[in-house]
Amino acid sequence: MSVYHALVMRDDIAQPLEAIDGIEYTHLDHGGSDSAEFEYSTDFQLLLLNFSDASLAEQDQILWDLRSGKLDLPREIPVFCRQDSPLLEHLGDGLFEKRSQFHTFLDSFYERLEQLQKHTGSSPLDKFLAHAWPRADSSFGPRWQLQSHSSYQYPLLSCLGIEDQQKTLALWRQSDVIVERELVDRVRQCPRCDSEHLNYVDICPRCKSIDINSSVSLHCFTCGHVGEQGEFQLDTALRCPTCLTQLRHIGVDYDRPLERFHCASCDHRFIEGQVVASCHNGHRHKPDELKERRLYRYGLGPAADQIASVGRIFDNRALQWGESTSIENFSWLLRWTNTSAQRHKHQHLLLFLNWEGVAEAITQLGEARALAQIAELQERLHSVIRQTDVFAEIDADKAVILLCHTSVKWLDQIAAKLASIEAANDSSVLKLQVRNFPLPSKDLPENTQQWLLAQSNKLDIDDVI
């Protein structure tokens, strides 16, 4: 049995932890100090937090500092706690009561971590995979945070320094790094500022005032007077204040109008108020104008296993006519095509495409609608590509096309086809930018994949054909 070294942090009143075979404890009393002030040995393979109910806020702070890289411990180190706390579900590995499973978990964790560390670097995705992939069948979800502009944040991503979480999750989902496990919630956003802190209030449909009240009204059949029920209460009976007729039987002497609300600003009576949603920035919108954001619990997708195995995402599917290929396949084909074109005097054309304004479209339309529009536009793009042309997606908003046996003299016709795709775009934010590169070219380097990525980032408005 392997022996693991555990650092145990505790407050002054917590009870000692029970011993576990194969795990050696090193105790450190937290003493109520800021956890960032401590320095720890990196030889520990396990962190155990033994805090009482009175110190759960300190426990959460240690979890946050650890996953943020502020402690002198590996940020992906397994953590178990004696007591449950709000962040344990998101940043920890469970409760100490699962100690009978510690060895199985730690053996699997460090075996997978060793495999992963051969390939990963220091990007946010690498840090995420270093935390998530060694934990077999791991998942992560959102947490409600009232002080945040968005009502939900993903604590794990926040600890990794990822600010634009919606865009990051969308890109990882498109790349199959993560997959949706469970729908946690659906929230509405202000379409102007993305605020999710909304107040729903009913207003007068005539003057839009919020000064409305519900009231019970009566209608006298004798003289036709309509007023609040209190006006008809004379002595112990109901009498019309205008004609003084005693109202004995509803439906015979009087009835109750359907208009149940009264506006104090314009004296208008109405059946139902008009509902509006107001964000804390003062923007008002009808409920059907709000954007929808879906919050999911995510698990790791097949691309995460590819990165762990070979250090990159590799598409080894058999290609079909007209189907997009991976950037790796495209890079090899580009180099071969360029060499062949130089030998046989052929002419080809390379097009770099960029959908500008993806972030703005997500802000304006919401993540689901924006990505659906981009997918629809990509589908339209496929419809105008010949079966002999080769298409590859570089990123969610970038692509490259190899037009075989096509020279620059055909650019006008190509531009017209691409313009028809952009004209079908419902969003005024998404703009298609295109840059052409004729082949053959002596400037094409041997590392075509790196060259493709560099060229795709050079697109600007002057490159539009």
pLDDT score of 316: 45
What Rg do the C-alpha atoms of the chain give, in angstroms? 32
Residues in CB range of 432: below 8 A, 6 or more apart:
353, 354, 355, 356, 377, 418, 421, 422, 425, 464
Please report whether residue 291 resides in a domain: no
Please report whether residue 355 resides in a domain: yes
Cis amide bond preceding 440, omega within 30 = yes
pLDDT score of 40: 52
Please report whether residue 22 resides in a domain: yes
Q: Which two tokens stand for residue 443?
A: 């400037």
Name the region of 402 (left: φ>0; alpha: ψ -120 to 50; beta: rest).
beta
Q: How many domains does the chain have?
A: 2
Q: Which two tokens stand for residue 221?
A: 């059949």
Please report whether residue 53 resides in a domain: yes
Please report whether residue 366 resides in a domain: yes
Please report whether residue 213 resides in a domain: no
DSSP 90: H
pLDDT score of 319: 43
Judged on CB neighbours under 10 Å (0-12, 13-18, 19+), 387 is exposed
Q: Look at residues 50, 84, 117 and tell me which one is the last residue of a structural domain.
A: 117
Please report, for the domain that includes residue 329, its CATH number. Answer: 3.30.70.270
Q: Look at residues 117, 143, 168 and tell me which one is the last residue of a structural domain.
A: 117
Domain containing 429 equals 315-463
CA separation for the pair 18, 13 (Å, rounded): 15
Please report, for the domain that includes residue 55, its CATH number. Answer: 3.40.50
Q: What is the pLDDT along the chain (465 residues), one digit of tens a residue?
A: 688 998 999 887 778 888 888 888 888 865 444 444 445 555 899 999 999 888 899 999 999 999 999 988 899 999 999 999 999 999 999 998 877 888 889 999 998 888 876 666 677 888 899 999 999 889 999 999 877 767 899 999 999 998 888 888 988 888 889 999 999 999 998 888 888 889 999 999 999 999 998 878 888 999 988 888 888 887 778 889 899 888 988 888 998 887 778 899 998 888 888 999 998 888 999 999 898 889 999 999 988 887 777 665 544 443 444 567 778 888 889 999 999 999 988 999 998 988 777 777 777 766 656 766 776 777 777 666 777 788 887 776 788 889 888 888 888 888 888 777 767 666 667 778 888 899 999 888 888 888 988 888 775 434 444
Nearest alpha carbon to residue 270 among 351, 221, 185, 213: 213
Please report whether residue 257 resides in a domain: no
Q: Any idea how long the chain is?
A: 465
Please report whether residue 358 resides in a domain: yes
Q: Where in 105-220 does DSSP place strands (E)?
A: 139-140, 143-144, 152-153, 178-189, 198-203, 212-214, 217-220
3-state secondary structure of 247: coil
Name the region of 224 (left: φ>0; alpha: ψ -120 to 50; beta: rest).
left
pLDDT score of 360: 76
3-state secondary structure of 317: coil
Q: Look at residues 53, 83, 117 and tell me which one is the last residue of a structural domain.
A: 117
DSSP 325: B
Do the beta carbons of residue 228 and residue 215 sit within 8 Å?
yes
Nearest alpha carbon to residue 149 among 363, 299, 429: 363
3-state secondary structure of 153: strand
Do the beta carbons of residue 65 and residue 71 sit within 8 Å?
yes
Query: Which backbone phi and psi does 429 adopt, to 5 degrees?
Result: -90, -40
Q: Which two tokens stand for residue 16?
A: 């000692």
3-state secondary structure of 289: helix
pLDDT score of 37: 45
